Amino acid sequence: DAGITQSPRHKVTETGTPVTLRCHQTENHRYMYWYRQDPGHGLRLIHYSYGVKDTDKGEVSDGYSVSRSKTEDFLLTLESATSSQTSVYFCAISESNPRDPGSYEQYFGPGTRLTVT
């Protein structure tokens, strides 16, 4: 998985609790992305990062926040988890600037399966 790890790999949590997912890369790619994958939908972009402390919203950002204090780490936080946030979350890294995300390949992590009960 191209030097990308995600933790935890599986998590079950209760509605209303905060949850933080971590993405760690060893490839020194500048740009990082968080997606969610749900049955019946293609991957959908939640947030992305241009670099340290430089992030922006994707198409499904409501209820999520992100932080990037180091090049190698990109954190996704569900401020107050809801059942609609039950999903598989993927982190991706790339040399593609988010302004042209298709210019280079995106490399995906192994995913985190989150269940909100």
Which CB atom, from 1 or from 54, has the smaller least distance to other proteins? 1
Q: How far is the CB of 19 from other proteins (least distance, A)?
A: 20
Q: How far is the CB of 16 from other proteins (least distance, A)?
A: 28
The residues binding other proteins (CB under 8 A) are 1, 4, 40-45, 90, 92, 98-103, 105-111
Report how far apart, in Å, the C-alpha atoms of 42 and of each of 68, 88, 117 are.
25, 12, 23
Q: How far is the CB of 60 from other proteins (least distance, A)?
A: 12
- In whole angstroms, what is the distance from residue 56 CA to residue 46 CA? 9
Coil vs helix vs strand at 113? strand
Which CB atom, from 41 or from 70, has the smaller least distance to other proteins? 41
Which CB atom, from 15 or from 103, has the smaller least distance to other proteins? 103
Report how far apart, in Å, the C-alpha atoms of 44 and of each of 6, 27, 89 are.
18, 23, 10
Q: Residue 94 is encoded by which pair of tokens?
A: 């790339």
